[in-house]
């Protein structure tokens, strides 16, 4: 069997001339033929972080064919390093290497590396090629697909960035074997999100298979990654720059970004904050009379079964939430736009939440002891 025929699945993100494949399968990091066709030229800069590089960088480099000019850059790991300063380090490394417009950046790591490398690629010499090789579950099911790139600002998450699509996404499902348990749970939050916004049967599947996913059962993982990527690819193809339906992918994120920003980047993991944020969105949807108490219990149970926190930080008051939520990128004309649940599997954008109901929700929502 040829190596390329061992790729388990290939999905397509359909964006006309910016279309690209998502390859999903075991051991893709060691399979050069899955990556080489997407290189723009000989110059290749692989950017990783200091947790992922010792695990996978050598395998990726040794799998590349001779004749390429391959450089590497290892950045410090963690959300607190998703900064313009780290992106500048990428640009400096590219300039020092004399890389031109036909270079390719490869992001080897989680969403932090992927978002920064994509942004560096979007701006370097006004735009160069990049490839996503995501190694966290969260990056495999969400951040590596769709072309949202950027960095955090001290005043708000992901406030500086660009839409810039990768040339390809290579998901090596074996890389999840080294992922810390807490990071796996964080990734499951984004998987659950797809079920909640658009795919109730997937939510039901997740309720049944959560234990298998947390035990790294490879069949269950590949199925969940594929189904998540398929849903994301559909939404991105419909609405690349978030003029409409793509906003639904932000379920739980307005509350979640407030938690991440208030607590200090890296304290709560992004997926953890999204998990609690989805609980808050479910509770608010119930207060508005849309979903019933049984639905809220279902949301709570599936989030808990993924090992995610269910209560907000003890030190966050109503005003702490509102101060960050008012800066959210989705807001228009000073109106808070929230993603809420009409039903499980059917989300909507809502900008008419009465202030007193939101205030009550933020006040009453459980806090950590
Ligand atoms: P991350 O990149 O910080 O990775 C989590 C941790 O796991 C890091 O310490 C990393 O070094 C380590 N790690 C990564 N792969 C590993 C592996 N295989 N084995 C062992 N350790 C490994 O975090 P994340 O959860 O992947 O991504 C979160 C980021 O993604 C946030 O900044 C969030 O805003 C962003 N995001 C972006 C989008 C988008 O559409 N662009 C979507 C969702 C989230
Ligand atoms: N994770 C949100 C988006 O890609 O739109």
Residue 217: CA atoms inside 13 Å, Cβ hemisphere, count? 10
> What confidence score (pLDDT) does residue 330 get?
75
Cβ neighbour number for residue 241 with a 10 Å cutoff = 10
Tokens of 261: 């920003």
Two structure tokens written together for 207: 């309720």
**Residue of the CA atom closest to atom 2 of ligand 2:** 249
CA of 1 to the centre of ligand 2 (A): 36
Q: Sign of the CA dihedral 135, 138, 143, 145?
A: positive
Please say if 257 is a catalytic residue. Answer: yes
Closest-CA residue to 322 (of 282, 360, 275): 360
Q: What strands lie across the sheet with 20-25, from one edge to the other?
A: 9-13, 20-25, 168-172, 129-134, 104-109, 43-49, 69-75
Would you say the CB of residue 309 lies under 6 angstroms from ligand 1? no
Percent of the chain with pLDDT over 70: 97
Does ligand 1 lie within 6 Å of residue 143's CB atom? yes
Given a cut of 90, whether residue 33 has pLDDT beyond it is no
Q: Is the CB of 158 under 6 A from ligand 1?
A: yes
Say which residue the tokens 């992001």 belong to. Answer: 107
- Using a 6 Å cutoff on CB, does residue 246 contact ligand 2? yes
Work out which ligand 2 atom sits closest to the CA atom of 232.
4
Question: What would the mean pLDDT of 158-165 be, rounded to a whole number?
Answer: 96
Q: Specify the pLDDT at position 3.
A: 41
SS3 for 120? helix
Q: Which of 143, 161, 256 to mutate to test the pocket of ligand 2 (most atoms within 8 A of CB)?
A: 143
Whether 49 is in the pocket of ligand 1, judged by its Cβ within 6 Å, is: yes
Pocket test for ligand 1, best of 139, 221, 246, 259 (most atoms within 8 A of CB): 139
Give me the percent of the chain exceeding a pLDDT of 90: 91
**Mean pLDDT, to the nearest integer, of 197-203?**
98
Say if residues 194 and 223 touch (Cβ distance below 8 Å). Answer: no
pLDDT at 176 > cutoff 90: yes
Q: Which long-range contacts (CB under 8 A, 24 or more apart) does 332-336 make?
A: 336/254
Q: What is the DSSP letter of 142?
A: I
Q: How far is the centre of ligand 1, averaged over its atoms, from the C-alpha of 315 (Å)? A: 25
Instruction: Give Cα 89 distance to the centre of its chain.
Output: 22
Mean pLDDT of 58-64: 93
pLDDT score, position 7: 57
In whole angstroms, give the CA distance from residue 318 to residue 265: 20
Nearest CA to ligand 1 atom 11: 51
**Any ligand 1 atom below 6 A from CB of 51:** yes
Identified catalytic residue from 82, 157, 227, 257: 257
Q: Give the CATH number of domain 181-364; options: 3.30.43.10, 3.30.450.40, 1.20.1090.10, 1.10.287.470.
A: 1.20.1090.10
Residue 246 annotated to the active site: yes
Condensed to tens digits (0 to 9), the pLDDT of residues 3-29 reads 444 557 999 999 999 999 999 999 999
Give the CA diameter of the chain. Answer: 64
Rounded Cα distance, 44 and 2, in Å: 25
In this prediction, residue 2 has a pLDDT band, given cuts at 50, 70 and 90, of very low
The rounded Å distance from CA 187 to ligand 2 centre is 13
Give CATH 1.20.1090.10 domain extents, the chain.
181-364
What integer pLDDT is reported at residue 5 of this predicted model?
43
* Ligand 1: centre distance to CA 294 (Å): 32
* Known catalytic residue at 250: yes
Would you give the DSSP letter of residue 143? I
Residue nearest to atom 5 of ligand 1 (CA): 110
Is 213 within 8 Å of 224 (Cβ atoms)?
Answer: yes
DSSP letter string over 48-102? Answer: EETTTIIIIIHHHHHHSPTT-EEEEEEEPPSGGG-SHHHHHHHHHHHHHTT--TT
The residue whose C-alpha atom lies closest to atom 43 belonging to ligand 1 is 143
34 has pLDDT over 70: yes
Evaluate: CB of 249 within 6 angstroms of ligand 2: yes
CB of 26 closer than 8 Å to CB of 218: yes
Annotated catalytic, 126?
Answer: yes
Q: Which of the residue ranges 138-147, 199-208, 327-336, 347-356 would you say has the lowest mean pLDDT? A: 327-336
Residue 211 has a CB neighbour count (10 Å cut-off) of 10
Mean pLDDT on 29-52: 93
Mean pLDDT score of the chain:
95
Q: Tell me, what's the pLDDT at 333?
A: 66
For residue 183 and ligand 1, the question of a CB distance below 6 A is answered with yes
Active-site annotation holds for 226: no
- Beta strands in the chain, from DSSP E residues, in sequence order: 9-13, 20-25, 43-49, 69-75, 104-109, 129-134, 148-153, 156-163, 168-172, 338-343, 346-350
Active-site residue, selected from the candidate residues 23, 227, 230, 270: 270
Instruction: Report how far ligand 1's centroid is from the alpha carbon of 56 (Å).
Output: 15
Each residue's pLDDT tens digit, 288-346: 999 999 999 999 999 999 999 999 999 999 999 999 998 877 777 678 899 999 999 99
Tokens 């850059």 identify what position?
73
Q: What is the pLDDT of residues 87-134, one digit of tens each?
A: 999 999 999 999 999 999 999 999 999 999 999 999 999 999 999 999
Cα Rg, the chain, nearest whole Å: 20
Q: What is the CATH number of domain 3-177?
A: 3.40.50.1970
Domain with CATH 3.40.50.1970 in the chain: 3-177
Q: Return d(Cα 223, Cα 263) in angstroms, integer.
A: 34
C-alpha 255 – ligand 2 centre gap (Å): 15
Task: Judge whether 190 counts as a catalytic residue.
Answer: yes
């Amino acid at each position: 069997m040829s190596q390329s025929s061992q790729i388990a699945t290939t999905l397509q993100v359909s964006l006309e001339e910016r279309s690209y494949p998502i390859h999903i399968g075991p051991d893709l990091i060691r399979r050069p033929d899955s990556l080489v066709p997407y290189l723009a030229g000989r110059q290749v800069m692989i950017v990783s972080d200091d947790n992922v590089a010792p695990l996978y960088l050598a395998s990726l480099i040794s799998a590349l064919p001779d004749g390429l000019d391959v450089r590497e850059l290892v950045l410090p790991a963690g959300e607190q390093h998703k900064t313009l300063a780290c992106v500048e380090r990428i640009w400096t490394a590219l300039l020092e290497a004399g890389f031109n417009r036909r270079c390719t950046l490869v992001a080897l790591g989680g969403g932090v590396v992927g978002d920064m490398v994509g942004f560096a690629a979007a701006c370097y010499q006004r735009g160069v090629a990049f490839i996503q090789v995501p190694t966290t579950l969260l990056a495999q099911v969400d951040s590596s697909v769709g072309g949202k790139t950027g960095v955090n600002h001290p005043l708000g998450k992901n406030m500086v960035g660009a839409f810039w699509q990768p040339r390809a996404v290579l998901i090596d499902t074996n890389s999840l074997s080294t992922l810390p348990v807490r990071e796996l749970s964080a990734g499951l939050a984004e998987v659950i999100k797809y079920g909640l916004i658009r795919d109730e049967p997937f939510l039901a599947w997740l309720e049944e298979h959560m234990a298998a996913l947390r035990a790294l059962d490879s069949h269950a993982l590949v199925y969940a990654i594929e189904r998540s990527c398929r849903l994301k690819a559909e939404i991105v193809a419909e609405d690349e720059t978030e003029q409409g339906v793509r906003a639904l992918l932000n379920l739980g994120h307005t509350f979640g970004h407030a938690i991440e920003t208030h607590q200090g980047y890296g304290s709560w993991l992004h997926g953890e904050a999204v998990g609690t944020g989805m609980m808050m969105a479910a509770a608010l949807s119930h207060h508005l009379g849309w979903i019933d108490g049984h639905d809220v219990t279902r949301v709570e149970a599936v989030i808990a079964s993924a090992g995610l926190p269910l209560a907000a930080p003890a030190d966050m008051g109503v005003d702490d939430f509102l101060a960050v939520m008012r800066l959210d990128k989705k807001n228009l004309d000073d109106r808070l736009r929230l993603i809420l649940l009409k039903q499980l599997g059917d989300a909507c954008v809502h900008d008419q939440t009465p202030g007193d109901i939101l205030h009550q929700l933020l006040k009453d929502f459980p806090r950590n002891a």
